[in-house]
């Protein structure tokens, strides 16, 4: 499988938010995430970078 994991950057550290992401949908100041297992999260964040070879999506909080 080649799904990515989502991390939120807080205080200079990466915090794992959700594993096995199948969908990332940015909408305004929010990012909607859905895993292959049906788990969903909505964060007040923006996509900082997506490392697709590392299967990693790094998000940054918006305030």
Whether pTM > 0.75 for this model: the answer is: yes
Query: Could you write out the DSSP letters of every residue in 7-29?
Result: EEEETTEEEEEEEEEEEEEEETT
Domain map of the chain by residue range? 4-61
Q: For residue range 28-42, list pLDDT tens digits in order.
A: 999 999 999 999 999
Q: For residue range 1-20, list pLDDT tens digits in order.
A: 678 999 999 889 999 999 99
> At 63, is the pLDDT very low, low, confident or very high (cuts 50, 70, 90)?
confident
56 DSSP β-pair partners = 5, 51
């Amino acid at each position: 499988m080649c799904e990515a994991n989502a991390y939120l950057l807080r205080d200079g550290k990466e915090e794992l938010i959700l594993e096995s992401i199948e969908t990332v949908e940015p909408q305004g100041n929010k990012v909607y995430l859905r895993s292959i297992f049906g788990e969903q999260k909505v964060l007040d964040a923006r996509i900082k970078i997506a490392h697709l070879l590392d299967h990693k999506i790094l998000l940054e909080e918006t305030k």
